[in-house]
């Protein structure tokens, strides 16, 4: 067993310590690089943690071009880093033709239409249970009491895990997500979770239900099925890909809205603005700023020759604030003209879970607005705790202290 600490005792800031002491706000430096140094050398690690040469990219067009060209720029660099905890088939780190085959098999479960019933049946009850915990108090700290907790539970619900296993599942999830900070814990949790999933899969093969494990076990495309190891890899990948990112992105959305009361009021008055608010939040502060590729052959990027084997790190957080594409790019403004962003990546690996993530973020804010009237930052706590969006690889609020009216 990994830790069996009650969920409430997990401290997200301590857990994601890898970023806690890093740069508070990388954006001024990223803006300088977009202007003066659009491609810069950067330390990178390949197979087995071996140092390799790498470059980071900062402009939108350069980042998008690399992410779209999956023949020149392979995702092998991600696989090399993830295999230890994700097993042999991490979709995010695979190249063609294996990637397309596997993605097509799992994609059906993540389509917008499949997800339509998820919102009311699965996501809203999870969100409501979190809100139940503080709704009578008139105040809350939304990172620890809500945003940090609900996405893992949504995944547990979607997978169809028994309720009694949620705490254990969250402990494994947390250890797997923090593998960078504590590798041994992460590897151990990954092996334990794989063992646990064997039992779940065997049960669903014998007694299929309406849940994701049953669906993944039975899904078939052109006579092909998902292998057991592929399924275990995929489910483990959902944790960093689906839980951590959504936790951070929901925090950033709430931080943006709480910091801009007129925009928050507009959303309150007309919930249809929430779609634009989600898009703007992920543009302004994507939860994960960087991804990586490795040049499969000699190439040229941003006017610089790139020898095969060099890692390329597109900085998505920088690309999304490219001032040649957006006016006043550094500010959160949900009323700006809609344009595609690359927070979910772009190209053949574009985030499979983007529709689920958007829906979860909308559901979280919608239920907060439904149940916590006059939701606002707690001014005393803001002065005392200095809430801010923190980090340079992963970014999310340190804390979200709020007050609201208690409905009698």
Which residues sit at the interface with other proteins, rule CB under 8 A? 68, 100, 103-104, 107-108, 111-113, 338-340, 345-348, 350, 352, 354-355, 358
Min. distance of Cβ 61 from other proteins in angstroms?
A: 13
Output phi, psi for 186, to 5 deg.
-65, -45
Report the residue number, 13 or 276, with the smaller CB distance to other proteins. Answer: 276
Helix axis angle for 150-159 and 245-259, nearest 10°, is 140
Min. distance of Cβ 73 from other proteins in angstroms?
A: 14
Min. distance of Cβ 339 from other proteins in angstroms?
A: 7
Min. distance of Cβ 275 from other proteins in angstroms?
A: 9
Report the residue number, 12 or 314, with the smaller CB distance to other proteins. Answer: 314
Report the residue number, 226 or 382, with the smaller CB distance to other proteins. Answer: 226
Report the residue number, 24 or 339, with the smaller CB distance to other proteins. Answer: 339
Residue found by looking up tokens 């772009």 in the block: 346
Distance (Å, rounded) from C-alpha 7 to C-alpha 69? Answer: 41
Tokens of 341: 């962003």
Q: Which of 126, 26, 44, 92 is nearest to 245 (CA)?
A: 92
Report the residue number, 67 or 368, with the smaller CB distance to other proteins. Answer: 67
Cα→Cα distances 308→74, 99, 156, Å: 10, 21, 41
Cα→Cα distances 387→34, 70, 83, 208, Å: 27, 39, 35, 46
Report the residue number, 36 or 222, with the smaller CB distance to other proteins. Answer: 222
Residue found by looking up tokens 């950033």 in the block: 252
Distance (Å, rounded) from C-alpha 63 to C-alpha 293? Answer: 11
Distance (Å, rounded) from C-alpha 288 to C-alpha 278? Answer: 15
Output phi, psi for 106, to 5 deg.
-90, -15
Q: Which of 82, 88, 90, 234 is nearest to 158 (CA)?
A: 234
Query: What are the beta bridge partners of residue 139?
Result: 403
Min. distance of Cβ 284 from other proteins in angstroms?
A: 18
Q: Around 231, how many Cα atoms within 13 Å sit in the side-chain half-sphere?
A: 24
Report the residue number, 100 or 388, with the smaller CB distance to other proteins. Answer: 100
The answer to whether 154 touches 123, Cβ cutoff 8 Å, is yes
Q: Which residues contact 116 (CB under 8 A, 6 or more apart)?
A: none
Tokens of 259: 């910091």
Distance (Å, rounded) from C-alpha 153 to C-alpha 149? Answer: 7
Q: Which of 176, 169, 135 is nearest to 149 (CA)?
A: 169
Report the residue number, 275 or 366, with the smaller CB distance to other proteins. Answer: 275
Min. distance of Cβ 338 from other proteins in angstroms?
A: 6
Min. distance of Cβ 111 from other proteins in angstroms?
A: 6
Residue found by looking up tokens 């669903």 in the block: 204
Report the residue number, 349 or 403, with the smaller CB distance to other proteins. Answer: 349
Distance (Å, rounded) from C-alpha 334 to C-alpha 107? Answer: 29
Report the residue number, 197 or 346, with the smaller CB distance to other proteins. Answer: 346
Min. distance of Cβ 171 from other proteins in angstroms?
A: 32
């Amino acid at each position: 067993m990994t830790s069996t600490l009650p969920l409430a005792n997990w401290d997200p800031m301590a857990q994601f310590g890898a970023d806690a002491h890093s740069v508070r706000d990388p954006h001024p430096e990223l803006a300088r690089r977009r202007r003066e140094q659009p491609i810069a050398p950067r330390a990178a690690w390949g197979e087995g943690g071996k140092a390799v040469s790498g470059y980071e990219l900062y402009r939108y067009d350069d980042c998008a071009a690399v992410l779209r060209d999956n023949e020149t720029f392979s995702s092998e660099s991600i696989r090399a880093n993830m295999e230890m905890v994700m097993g042999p088939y991490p979709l995010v780190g695979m190249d063609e033709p294996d990637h397309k085959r596997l993605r097509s098999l799992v994609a059906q479960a993540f389509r917008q239409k499949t997800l339509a019933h998820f919102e009311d049946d699965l996501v809203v009850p999870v969100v409501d249970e979190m809100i139940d915990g503080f709704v009578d108090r008139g105040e809350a700290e939304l990172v620890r009491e809500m945003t940090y907790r609900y996405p893992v539970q949504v995944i547990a619900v979607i997978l169809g895990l028994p309720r009694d296993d949620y705490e254990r599942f969250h402990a494994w999830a947390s250890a797997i997500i923090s593998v960078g900070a504590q590798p041994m814990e992460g590897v151990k949790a990954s092996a334990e979770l794989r063992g646990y999933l064997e039992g779940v899969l065997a049960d669903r093969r014998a007694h299929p239900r309406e849940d994701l494990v049953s669906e993944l076990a039975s899904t078939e495309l052109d006579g092909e099925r998902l292998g057991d190891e592929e399924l275990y890899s995929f489910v483990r990948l959902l944790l960093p890909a689906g839980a951590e990112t959504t936790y951070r992105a929901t925090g950033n959305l709430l931080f943006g809205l709480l910091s801009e009361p007129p925009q928050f009021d507009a959303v309150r008055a007309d919930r249809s603005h929430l779609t634009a608010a989600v898009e703007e939040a992920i543009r302004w502060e994507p939860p994960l700023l960087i991804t990586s590729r490795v040049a499969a052959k000699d190439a040229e990027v941003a006017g610089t020759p790139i020898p095969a084997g060099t890692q390329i790190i597109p900085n998505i957080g920088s690309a999304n604030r490219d001032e040649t594409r957006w006016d006043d790019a550094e500010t959160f403004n949900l009323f700006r003209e809609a344009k595609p962003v690359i927070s979910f990546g772009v190209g053949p690996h574009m985030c499979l879970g983007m529709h689920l993530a958007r829906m979860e973020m909308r559901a979280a804010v919608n239920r907060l607005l439904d149940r916590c009237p006059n939701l606002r930052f707690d001014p005393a706590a803001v002065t005392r705790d200095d809430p801010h969006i923190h980090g340079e690889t992963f970014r999310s609020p340190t804390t979200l202290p709020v007050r609201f009216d208690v409905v009698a």
